Amino acid sequence: MAHLLTSLLAFLLYLPLTFAAFGVTTSGNNLLVDSGAGLVTTINRSNGDLTSLKFNGKELQDQSKFTQLSSGLGSATVTSSVANNIAVVTIQTSTITQYYIVRSGTNTLYIGTFASAEPSVGELRFIARLSKSALPNGPTQSDISGGNSIEGSDVFMVNGQTRSKFYSSVRFIQDQVHGVTGSGVGAYIIVPGTGYETSSGGPFFRDIDNQGGDQQEVYFYMNSGHEQTESYRTGFFGPYALAITSGSAPSGNLDISFFDNLGLQGYVPASGRGTVRGSYSGTLSGLPITIGFKNSAAQYWATGSGGSFTSPLIKPGTYTVTLYEGELESGTSSVSVSAGGTASVTLKASASRPSTIWSIGTADGTPAGFMNADKIETIHPSDSRMSNWGPITFNIGSSASSFPMAQFKNVNNPTTIQWSASSSQIGARTLRIRTTSAFAGGRPQITVNSWTSSAPSAPTAIDSRGVTRGTWRGLNQIYDFAIPSGTLVAGSNRIQINVISGSSGDGFLSPNFVYDSVELF
């Protein structure tokens, strides 16, 4: 009898680990896609919503809000096919085709999105709205649970710390894997290879990865207005994936070669792509080198090393090629790519770097090294963990870490620079201020001793809050102020930098700009 009970118990314990067969079945208004390895995905046949994600019997999908493209497609035509151990679910509207693909024995939902126009239902984004109880662990800085809104409807105060979904963002060039975990389970977005090719913004653009509220939301943003610097692209977005694991993060080197044989709308297989090999010279030592490729249909990037680079496989077309020193555009060229071909291009850094009398920061397209630059991507400027913004008086020769990374008209205006000049350093000079982004028309104007510069024209407007959302990546600008002879004196000099603008605003939402560097030459 005891032996019989032991055998029965062993049998019952084994049952949850016995996986069903791979394939797609219909159940009422749903399609059930079984990986055959523990993941069962339920897709609504009326609108393409993912209403259930069960991993080894554990429900990972929130049941009040579903996983969707954008804010849901409303209605769609949903079909499926299975061949060669690959299941493809196709969800179509007049402008969107969404693909969910499962390979036998793999607990990964491979995804592709074709869009001929921006969806009327909202920004083009995939949102996995997961169960917070099943997957409670996400980035702390984007967990807004129990918070009170302090800016718009997307920045919150939680236990004395600022939180926002924007603070989960990572530069595209670095963001191949991000996700959330729970007990014995993880859910991760993977963006492998050229998955960002149809998105907009370039290699240093950042967008939302996560928000932890009533649901645990994990995103792949394709197009958004979050400090967007160029027009949206249309076409095939991805491939990308939602991978379910036992908790550990998967590799970003996801094998997507099988996509080449699926005949997906807008997808260009490897055989229809080409490569660019090239060289570059004249860059500043110590700065990371990135080479960007873009046209109206696609964007790509490669890392430079030792004066050379090789692009990923890219779609045929003519591309503007940009050499970046850090995040600073430093040289451009053009190249035409053909299917199966290898094109070549030579780049030379052409960023103006005069011999300076002094400089604050490095001209690299970022505020790196300035005060609060190490915190701005994950907390709001008002957060108590920030160093006091000032106004600051900066003495030449001091560490750049005491110079503010951003200047806000109604918070830390002006920034004052004090400098003792020798007789050989005076005369007609130029003060150059480089900025990386601006809000509400904010730009610098300077006063040197008793002389005040003219007001520069307003920068190109970007319809976004920018730095309060955790990013400095806007449009790089150069402001050169010609200081007339007789203004600077041998001995003590005082330079004030003021934010000016025809617009207004309160606190950290007043007109502002982010510093890249300040140079006198």
The amino acid that residue 200 corresponds to is S
Long-range contacts (CB closer than 8 Å, 24 or more residues apart) made by 69-72: 69/96, 69/98, 69/113, 69/119, 69/124, 69/125, 69/126, 69/127, 70/119, 70/121, 70/122, 70/123, 70/124, 70/125, 70/127, 71/121, 71/122, 72/47, 72/121
Cβ-Cβ contacts under 8 Å for 37 (sequence gap 6 or more):
19, 22, 104, 105, 106, 107
Counting Cβ atoms within 10 Å, is residue 14 exposed (0-12), middle (13-18) or buried (19+)?
Answer: exposed
What sign results for the dihedral spanned by CA atoms 209, 510, 459, 516? negative
Helix (H/G/I), strand (E/B), else coil: 215: strand
C-alpha triplet 416, 442, 169: angle, nearest 5°: 100
Upstream peptide bond of 414 is cis (omega within 30 degrees of 0) = yes
Upstream peptide bond of 288 is cis (omega within 30 degrees of 0) = no
Q: Which H or E element spans position 11?
A: helix 2-14
Q: Kindly state the tokens that stand for 403.
A: 């110079």
Cβ-Cβ contacts under 8 Å for 10 (sequence gap 6 or more):
none
Distance CA 101, CA 98 (A): 10
- The tally of CA atoms less than 13 A away on the side-chain side of residue 436 is 27
pLDDT tens track, the chain, 521 positions: 444 444 443 444 444 445 679 999 999 999 999 999 999 999 999 999 999 999 999 999 999 999 999 889 999 999 999 999 999 999 999 999 999 999 999 999 999 999 999 877 668 999 999 999 999 999 999 999 999 999 999 999 999 999 999 999 999 999 999 999 999 999 999 999 999 999 999 999 999 999 999 999 999 999 998 999 999 999 999 999 999 999 999 999 999 999 999 999 999 999 999 999 999 999 999 999 999 999 999 999 999 999 999 999 999 999 999 999 999 999 999 999 999 999 999 999 999 999 999 999 999 999 999 999 999 999 999 999 999 999 999 999 999 999 999 999 999 999 999 999 999 999 999 999 999 999 999 999 999 999 999 999 999 999 789 999 999 999 999 999 999 999 999 999 999 999 999 999 999 999 999 999 999 99
Residues 170 and 178: beta-carbon distance below 8 Å: yes
